[in-house]
Structure 1
Amino acid sequence: MTFLPDSFRNRLALLFVGLALLVGLPTYLYLDHVYAARLIRDRGEALRDLASAVAAVLGENLRERQREIELLAQTPLYRRAPLDSPDFQASLERVQESYPQYSWIGLADPQGTVRAATGKLLVGKSVAQRPWFINGLQGSFFGDLHEALLLSKLLPQAEGQGPVRFIDFASPVFDESGRVRGVLASHAHWRWAAEVVQVMTPHDAESNALDVFIVNQDNVVIYPEGQEKALLAPDKAAFNSRAYSTGGWGDGVSYLSATAQVREIIPGQHLGWRIVVRQPTARTLADVRDLQRVVLLALVGATALFLVLAWWSASRFSRPLERLAALAHRIEAGDEKTRLEVTDAPQEIRGLAAALQDMADALLSHQEALAQSNAQLEEKVSERTAALAQANAELHQLARRDALTSLANRFAANERLQDEFLRMRRHGGSYGLLMLDIDFFKRINDTLGHAGGDEVLRHVAATLRTLVRESDFIARVGGEEFMVLLPESSLADAARVGEKIRAGIAASQPPIDRQVTVSVGVALATPEQEDMDLAVRQADTQLYRAKEAGRNRVAGGPQSAA
């Protein structure tokens, strides 16, 4: 170190400056590179999460609108009433009142003539060439965003200012025999997209320059309105390798962007919409730049302060500190027997040396004890964690699984019933419920013993698994009684499944030399029911009817109810 000034004061001052730079500059560089990159990554993932949430809500909203049209088309009025019935007009007006974003709802006959519509708009007009009618004859249809110049001229002035854009929802209307008797369609005003996005957009989006866009399959922004030609969103390929991307949007500004795909509303009809969320990269890194300025100012201030303190204290503490430092370096090098003793130093330095010696002794002792304690603690934690995980897994399995048939038990059935009932009350729809009982099971037990009865129970459980959908739920809820829950099913659907199960078990090859049959009770749970056990009791009642009617039959379907 011959290049440094000879005086200790100067050397100590330069040392403090070096220490300040050694601490401050890596911090500054860390903020400029590592922390900035981490902030970009975290913010990109946050934008990805926001885009996913908006996409999920938008997709669910679209699905709800499509489901409304499908359910309306399945009501008795639309299946049975003459197409010239005035009841259609009142029905359509009620639906529009419940969801004002429906700018137009109409019913067209199979030839494409509008027979009823909200506001009587287009009644008597032909829509045979409209995509929603052509596709609606074939099945449920969800149309992409488009302008409706003809309809916009007929709408009230408040809606008709400028080009009006709609999304089409259509569903065929069938009569009782399954023939198409028309197409029910609605045009939803595109302004609902703004409402969905505004609800999901954070309250501080404007202050953070955060933008949310809806992009179609042609990579063109379709929301907000008026941005179609002003901005082109980043291509999908920019997001293939990670959840976010950085780059320009053609306006000379670098953005941090994230995207999420809007799920299919109807299987096979893929619109290719995406939600893209962006924020200027400069705004994302604004906090980093501010922190860098604070660190730089703190570094300069600390350096100046260190210079003053070093200059003042160097002459007083130079020799004792140098000796104390030399002894400390010996301990650092591994000579733990060295004692920090400075006899010719001021009282404060001697006290510091004694304190450092005590601290070194305590640290060495604590280090050994801590290492041993950590090893023992880690071993105990590992053993107890593994035992607890195994016990929890076994307890969960035992509490919800029937040991004989490996089906769900009564406890698991009650949990599933509650979940399905709450889902139905929240989203609408219905679900079917089947209660099954093995016919003359007591005779089987009396003749073949409980071992034979157990074989029959396992056989029936295995056969049931092959006769229902993967989404259906099967449980053994009693000795020879089983329950089957059919989500998103009508009463007719449930009756068909019940007959399928009855016939399948009757035709199966049981492990005994006699035929095994079941009686089935059918019930339907609907949102109007206040008690989730009502459908269970109804299915049990129908099961007793099937037993009383001779067994090996299904009771409770539409024909039975009639």
Structure 2
Amino acid sequence: DAVVLATSPESLDLVGTRLNSSASKLAIEEKKPVISSPLKSVTGNLIILLSHPIYDKGGNYIGYVGGSIYLKKHNLFGDVLSRHFFKNNTEISIVSDDGNVIFNNDKSAVDRPMVMSDDLKSKLTASDRGEGAFFSSGHRYLLGYASMKNTAWNVLVYSRADSVTTILIAYAKSVLVLLIIIIIVFSLISYFIASSISLPLEKLAISTNAKDIGASLVYIKAINAWYAEADRLKKALFTYIKVMMERVDFLNEVALKDPLTGVNNRLGFLSKIQNHKRDSGYSVIVIDVDFFKEINDSFGHGVGDEVLVSLAHIINSCCRSEDVVCRFGGEEFVVFLPNTSVVTAKCVAERIRSVIESTVFPNNLRVTISAGVATQDDPLGRIDFLLKNADDALYQAKREGRNKVIVYSAI
């Protein structure tokens, strides 16, 4: 609604004032960033308004935030434009499209029409940027100009022709000689220093791309880091890679192992069977301890844990090194047997069942297990399908009185 909600400084005392300027109306109508033409503010100052729209979280336009540049008072705008490398005999002016001066070191010229010839005016109108010459007070001036489309401003830089010539000749001579010397010397020194410094760093960088981390450590150790910083970087990189290797190995071991029994957990099981994904003819044994809940209830979970540890050890001892033994959770174990027929898998399961039946566990406990066996001849697809078959066979063994091995194909 063009009503001021807040100002800085607060001493302007504009809160609650409705702004009627064309710049404010344009900012509200356009709903986009606006840089206005010079205008008189409600406080009577000649200003330029810079505004940016504000939207709420729903994307609805709710107003704008604006800042003003004072054109006839000391301000940052004037400070920035007054600092240039053209020396004191060069001036900069900013002129609006209608010909009024927006900025000049002479404050009295601001908001007045810029005095220029018709030929120069037509040039400014016809092109976005260019150069020209004009006469003023008996002197010839060289002019460069450029238009700023988004502000409707024209920037003019002009200086007396004789001053420009003198500056350019002196500048060109000094710069040319100095530049040639600096380029030659600096190039030679830079090439030697850069080559010497970058060589060990380049080798260290190459070592980080090695796929074989062990080989990378050997390569890093052999690098000649002749200066202190590179040597520290070399040692730090070597130590870091070594520590990371150890940590990764440890974390892999922790992540893939069941903390109680030391056999694989589910993640370790799924990870290791990936090595046999293209093999065919493999079997799975699913094992469950009979009446395990009664052991926990009667003797406590500590004894139950000891039984599980012993079971894991027995199962491991009855399997080959390439077999994957896993504790799936609770008292359930799974054994993956690559390149194993259903007959062999059943024999392994029977051996495990028999050894466990004849073993005396802590507290003179006798424990039995039920097991289900399933086999798949095709290359490994979805392991959960094979596990389900073995699980079905396991529950069939339980239904038939426990302490049994059932093959899924026999159900």
Q: Tell me the TM-score range normalised by the shorter chain.
A: 0.3 to 0.5
Point out the structure with max Rg over C-alpha. 2
Q: TM-score, normalised by structure 2?
A: 0.45
Q: TM-score, normalised by structure 1?
A: 0.33
Structure with bigger RCO (C-alpha 8 Å, 6+ apart): 1
Larger helix share, 1 or 2? 1
